[in-house]
A and B are shown apart, each in its own frame.
Chain A
Amino acid sequence: MSHSATAIMSIEKPQVEVEHLNLFYGNSQALTDMSFGIPASQVTALIGPSGCGKSTFLRCINRMNDLVEGLRIEGSITIDGENINDPSLDVIELRRKVGMVFQKWNPFPKSIYENVIYGLRIAGIKERGVLDQAVEQSLKRAALWDEVKDRLQQSAMGLSGGQMQRLCIARAVAVNPEIILMDEPCSALDPRSTSRIEELIRELRGEYTIIIVTHNMQQAARISDYTAYMYLGELIEYGPTQKLFTVPERKETEDYITGRFG
């Protein structure tokens, strides 16, 4: 791949650095030789056709893939210079640092309040004041506070889909991670909820490193600083969003973003 050097931009002092990452589900390879760096405090979008390995890659970053049996990883991912697959690394610490929002919202069957502070409780925080404050702050950030402030003790199961997804974002934000992974957070939401979440991402930018998977080109263009285009488990092109959407270097990228993709 002689051209890849030109298509994949190198970042100075990346927070997340991926080097020659290969991933196998049993015998089938899902990620092939991915190498790139993700900058801190920016929004990086992952785009690509369905099944190209976006979720798989995202789940490598907080080692969610540990739960999958028969999965094998080669190469390395480092966060702030630390190899996350190092056996001596505490995966709990890693997940405290790298939060995740899933495609399908998954609030716990507990009260809204308990949902938000779940991560804090797990971390052993008990002071009522701290928890109360965290709830208010996180819900405000997730633009959910006004809607639920009067029913914090009610079950989260009574919320609408969009509200549940924002609750999941609040839950992830509450533990104050450095990096937030989002796997198609808006795919099941109506346009209004989608725009609220986009707004939220824009607000979080600068404070958190956000890596977001999306199928929505416009969304990627609207909210991200950098975009990576993946195809069949390979990283095809990676660069500033502006540049990738206006003057893509690779033909495949252009076909995909203009919708000419087969």
Chain B
Amino acid sequence: MATKKSTNKFWRQGEPFVWGTALALTLVLFMTVLLFYVVLANGITVFWPKDVILATLNNGGYALGELVKDEKNPATGKKRFQFKIGNRDLYSLDFKWIDTEDIKSFSTPSDIYVLERQENGNFYGSLKELKTPGLVLPAEKKENLQAALDAIEPQRLEVEKIDRQIAALNDKVEQNNNKLLKLRYKKEEHTPATVALHDKVNTIKAEFEKLVSVLGSKQGIVAANEAVFVDANGQEKTIRLADIVRYYQPNSMSWLQKWSYYGKRLRELLFAEPRESNTEGGLFPAIFGTIMLIFMMSILSFPLGVLAGIYLREYAREGYLVKMVRIAVNNLAGIPSIVYGIFGLGFFVYGIGSQIDLLFFPEKLPTPTFGTGGILWASMTLGLLTVPVVIVATEEALGAIPPGIREGSQALAATKFQTLTRILLPMASPGILTGFILAMARAAGEVAPLMITGVVKLAPALPLDGSFPYLHLDRKFMHLGFHIYDIGFQSPNVEAAKPMVYVTTLLLILIVLIMTSTAIYLRNRMRERFSVADL
């Protein structure tokens, strides 16, 4: 009897239920931590310079590269190693599996170079000789790669400078051409203004030609400087110095040097342009695009959502219609994002965009200006996607304010509007911000609707830059989320792109985290100020 009683008590007190809840939470926590761990562990080690291992093979050959991983060979059941051997131009594959029984020994020669190149990925090998006809190097540094690179640097910078000048001229030509197009469209081809413009374009073009020829000769001089490297098996490869982005000798690097290398790579990641179809180099345009997109989305959706929420809660007469609207708004938040994308494409891009083109840019047609995907349409689409969340949050935050507060304000001869702006909105702001945070997090993670409203793999220019009119709402943009999809699943060399996928993922998570935690911090401060816990 006694045991029966105690089991009864066990069930009555809901012991299993408590265990169940704890289990559910643990499970969720575990998954989150696992996800974060995988991304973090893989992401932060990408830029750490790994030792380069020379494997002496039983057949007399050699393999040189970074050890990526080992696993059981599914065919033989023995262990095998995956090496990143690079030298894509020589071997055509960056990665190679080698079985344990084929390997005689491992070593880590200290004179191995790793070159990061403009093209064809990393090169692993040793330096044979330098051919530097255009450089004057002191005798003792004749064979010093660093000295040669340093000597060539000013010329390389000059080439870059000329490149930029040419781009600027290009911009000018483009702008004048647009003006000409407009004049031609207006049938004013032979007015003095047109003639003057033509002259202008021609002078710019002359300048352009001159610069191009200067560039050609400079490039020739720079390109003449080469270095001859040999791979593990003695195959020679001549590499232009100008093609070397960075080199390092991991097997003889100290910790400090490794850290400094890590820092350099990180800086490159954050501030440089991508290279090699996005699998190398930096992510700056994608970071910029992502942040700008979220920013524009917020500017569009936040006021709209708050205003709509205010109307729904404070001004709309409670009734059948308002109930229906409320249900509709709640359901809107659950529509798959791709549907919003299609709507954005159909309504914003093809609908509004092409009308804008007809009205303001008819001279450029059939080339669309706003009638094609761009950052404006993408952020409007995302705004539409997130606006229901903001509306619901606003409504609920306003509804949660005790009615006594409203009456108190109105009894002091405040109008409804004054009550709203002076009392209700400040009090509702933490709740509204919470909704906004949710909206922002959702928008930051969306990729599908962007793919049809303006995101691209590689954007030629940022949507915000120094050329008039500075904010280019019609431009296409890059985005970290799309970047992950693109390099991870669409690139020709998926294996080589893997580290970049992790890094990009980590970066995207970090950006979302930073933005939402800033918002949460602000919200909590407001909550402290406007809480009415006692009422």
Contacts and interface: CB of A to CB of B under 8 A. Distances in A.
Given A108-B405, A157-B532, A64 B411 contact: yes
A102 B413 contact: no
Given A118-B409, A119-B412, A108 B402 contact: no
Nearest to B534: A157
Contacts of A196: none
Contact of B412 (A69, A109, A175): A175
Contacts, number: 72
A175 B413 contact: yes
A105 B533 CA distance: 13
Interface in B407-432: 407-415, 418, 422-423, 426-427
Interface string A169-188: 00110010000000000000
Contact of A95 (B412, B422, B423): B412
Nearest to A119: B412
Interface residues on B, range: 20 to 34
Nearest to A93: B413
Contacts of A67: 406-407, 410
Contacts of A106: 402, 404-405, 407-408, 535
A95 B413 CA distance: 5
A96 B415 CA distance: 11
A143 B177 CA distance: 79
A143 B411 CA distance: 22
Contacts of B427: 109
Interface in B487-535: 529-535
B318 interface: yes
A212 to B, nearest CB: 15
A247 to B, nearest CB: 37
B329 to A, nearest CB: 22
A99 B412 contact: yes
Nearest to A122: B414
A135 interface: no
Nearest to B532: A109
Contacts of A93: 413
A123 interface: yes
B407 A92 contact: no
Given A92-B413, A95-B411, A102 B405 contact: no
Most buried by B among A67, A96, A108, A119: A108
B454 to A, nearest CB: 43
A168 interface: yes
Contacts of B418: 122
Contacts of B415: 92
Interface string B250-271: 0000000000000000000000
Interface in B297-324: 317-318
A108 B318 CA distance: 26
A112 to B, nearest CB: 14
Contacts of A105: 535
Given A108-B423, A109-B532, A157-B533, A118 B404 contact: no
- Is chain B's interface secondary structure helix, strand, loop, or mixed overall? helix
A173 to B, nearest CB: 11
B52 to A, nearest CB: 64
Contacts of A121: 422
A64 B404 CA distance: 11
Residue of A93, A118, A119, A171 with most chain B CB atoms under a 10 A cut-off: A118
A118 B412 contact: yes
B416 to A, nearest CB: 9
Contact of B410 (A64, A109, A168): A64
A95 B414 CA distance: 9
A108 B410 contact: no
Contacts of A64: 407, 410-411
Interface in B385-418: 402, 404-415, 418
Contacts of B422: 118, 121-122
Contacts of A100: 411
Given A109-B427, A109-B532, A102 B408 contact: yes
Contacts of B530: 109
Interface in A99-135: 99-100, 102, 104-109, 118-119, 121-123
Contacts of B402: 106
A62 interface: yes
A20 B426 CA distance: 42
A8 B414 CA distance: 36
Nearest to A100: B411
Contacts of A99: 411-412
Contacts of B404: 102, 104, 106
Most buried by B among A104, A106, A123, A157: A106
A100 B404 CA distance: 12
B405 A119 contact: no
A100 B413 CA distance: 10
Interface string A24-45: 0000000000000000000000
A105 B534 CA distance: 10
B531 A109 contact: yes
Contacts of A109: 426-427, 529-532
A100 B411 CA distance: 6
B470 to A, nearest CB: 40
4 tightest CB-CB pairs across the interface, nearest first? A106-B404, A106-B408, A119-B412, A95-B413
Interface of A: 62, 64, 67, 69, 92-93, 95-96, 99-100, 102, 104-109, 118-119, 121-123, 155, 157, 161, 164, 168, 171-172, 175
Given A69-B318, A122-B412, A171-B412, 18 more contacts: A64-B410, A64-B411, A95-B410, A95-B411, A99-B412, A102-B404, A102-B407, A104-B535, A106-B404, A106-B407, A106-B535, A108-B423, A109-B426, A109-B529, A109-B532, A118-B409, A171-B408, A175-B412
10 contacts: A95-B410, A100-B411, A102-B407, A106-B535, A109-B426, A109-B531, A122-B418, A171-B408, A172-B411, A175-B412
